[in-house]
Amino acid sequence: MADDPEEGMLSWDESVFRDEHVFEIDYVPETFKHREGQMESLTYALRPAVRGSRPLNVTVRGPPGTGKTTAIQKLFDEVGAQTSDVRTIRVNCQVNSTRYSVFSRLFEGTFEYEPPSSGISFKKLFGQIAEKLVEEDDVLVVALDDVNYLFYENEASDALYSLLRAHEEYPGAKIGVIVVSSDPALDVLEELDSRVQSVFRPEDVYFPVYDQPEIVDILAERVDRGFHDGVISRDTLEYVADLTADSGDLRVGIDLLRRAGLNAEMRASRTVERQDVEDAYETSKYVNLSRSLSGLTDNERTLLEVIAHNDGDQAGDVYDEFHERTDLGYTRYSEIVNKLDQLDLIETEYADVDGRGRSRSLSLTYEKDAVLERLE
């Protein structure tokens, strides 16, 4: 973009963005930096599949925003470029959090159309997938992304058991599984049933949090591809990287760059300034909160809203209001409390209460206003 003599202002049909899609969360970069070792381990595990054999199973672990999903997408693209005899299907377990919905997604990926919405049993659904694999002599590689959501719903062991034991019921079926967890507190192997542990035996690939220099390097490439030349200075980029490092989530930085660019455009400015970043951070810092909320059911959202209005109250008191609004029993209520706790949306603290024995209080992890605003 040439310099504008009118105080560097954008005209109505100009943009600071060269390609705004570069700053979308689902954008897959052409070069995937600082994850060479992890990609080598994943490639090693899937190499047998390219040769027509069952691949090694893998657990992929690491906090949110550390490149796990991008690694899977890059890996699957590479496998697809080498052979058409390996089917690769990524299942978003935040959306598909039951065994049946996981296999519905696998059916769709196998046949390229959705299964009937009702009237088909799990056994028949599973059978059609397996028979198709055997008939075409294909290898299936399933990535259960955000597998922690299957654990929250107590569906993980059943889903994995069906996948890992498929060859026993359908000889010739070759299926490998990559489980991807973003919950640092979850020990995948420890939480699985013994019947699954005995056949899973995965390779382990860990994705650590990016450090500040790595964040600068990754975001600089996004800036080069996504903004026009000279839109953001090195100092401002490093400020974005500092905020990103504090959050521990690369997605915060990517979202921050996009929102800061939009803020600059609102000012009709050709450059992104520090104030644009500071203003954008008030929204971008809640990227993980927004993502967690997007996967909640209506009842789970209702409970979180009740907790927000009764922050710090005892679980029994919170239940009374929740029951009044949903008519759900205490067992289901307790399961939802545990899920919200595992998602780090709330904190539970046990204490002795006079006349009531030992009870737990429920508190929000995030600011009340931020939660309620995103629940609307």
Q: Residues within the annotated binding site for ATP? A: 66-70, 210, 222
**Cα–Cα distance, 184 to 331 (Å, whole number):** 26
3-state helix, strand, coil in the chain (%, to 5): 55, 15, 30
User: Are the C-beta atoms of 74 and 39 separated by less than 8 Å?
Assistant: yes
- β-partners of residue 179 are 59, 144
User: Cβ atoms within 10 A of the Cβ of 172, count?
Assistant: 12
**Cα–Cα distance, 122 to 41 (Å, whole number):** 33
Strand ranges in 22-121 using DSSP code E only, listed in sequence order? 58-61, 86-92
Q: What are phi and psi of 363, to 5 degrees?
A: -135, 150
DSSP per-residue letters across 125-167: HHHHHHHHHHHHT-EEEEEEETTHHHHHTT-HHHHHHHHHTHH
What's the Cα-to-Cα distance from 256 to each of 112, 234, 236, 270, rounded to whole Å?
36, 15, 11, 17
What's the Cα-to-Cα distance from 255 to each of 189, 233, 249, 271, 280, rounded to whole Å?
33, 17, 11, 17, 9
Binding-site residues from annotation: 66-70, 210, 222
**Cα–Cα distance, 263 to 202 (Å, whole number):** 46
Residue with tokens 């603290």: 349
**Cα–Cα distance, 214 to 363 (Å, whole number):** 34
User: Cβ atoms within 10 A of the Cβ of 183, count?
Assistant: 19
Where do runs of H (alpha helix) occur along 183-297? 188-191, 194-200, 212-226, 234-247, 250-266, 274-284, 287-294
User: Are the C-beta atoms of 55 and 141 separated by less than 8 Å?
Assistant: yes
